[in-house]
């Protein structure tokens, strides 16, 4: 239940030549408190409820609990969410021994493209594709819960 993840800016759109799967994602927050964010997500007609704890000092690791819930329940929970929502396309791209999840944001976060890679340890080595830019792991403004509060277009 500990998520170990690194985040990067995507510097160009060449990643789209390597896409394995593509999903449309809508998400809102029942709580954006950094100590325990509670997220409702609809991804390709499936609902999810996710709770995340506060990140460690490097921003690489944090507690995460996620459960698939019925789509109708996810839609109902959206009615209780804080103001704002995230809309994005998530692309999954296998590279080396890992799969990158690349999020292309829309709405107030249009123009922001972030790649994430989940690792089994904080020191795990991984291959970096040429479209990967600067690392932003631990930079809280890139957290989805913060992109609702201070969207990319306002930076």
Query: Does domain 2-154 correspond to CATH entry 3.30.70.590?
Result: no
Please say if 91 is a catalytic residue: no
> Which of the four pLDDT bands, split at 50, 70 and 90, describes residue 3?
very high
Give pLDDT tens digits for 95-146: 999 999 999 999 999 999 999 999 999 999 999 999 999 999 999 999 999 9
Question: Each residue of 130-139: b (16+ CB within 10 Å) or e?
Answer: ebbeeebbee
Catalytic residue selected from 29, 100, 142, 143: 29
Contact 29, 49 (CB under 8 A): no
Give pLDDT tens digits for 64-92: 999 999 999 999 999 999 999 999 999 99
pLDDT at 142: 97
């Amino acid at each position: 239940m500990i998520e170990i993840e690194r985040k990067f800016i995507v510097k160009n759109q060449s990643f789209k030549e390597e896409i394995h799967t593509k999903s449309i994602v809508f998400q809102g927050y029942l709580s954006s408190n950094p100590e325990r964010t509670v997220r409702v997500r609809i991804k390709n007609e499936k609902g999810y409820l996710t709770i995340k704890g506060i990140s460690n000092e490097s921003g690489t690791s944090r507690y995460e609990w996620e459960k698939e819930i019925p789509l109708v329940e996810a839609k109902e929970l959206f009615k209780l969410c804080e103001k704002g929502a995230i809309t994005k396309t998530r692309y999954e791209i296998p590279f080396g021994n890992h799969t990158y999840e690349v999020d292309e944001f829309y709405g107030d976060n249009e123009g922001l493209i972030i790649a994430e890679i989940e690792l089994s340890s904080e020191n795990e080595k991984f291959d970096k594709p040429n479209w990967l830019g600067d690392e932003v792991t631990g930079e809280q403004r890139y957290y989805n819960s913060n992109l609702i509060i201070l969207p990319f277009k306002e930076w």
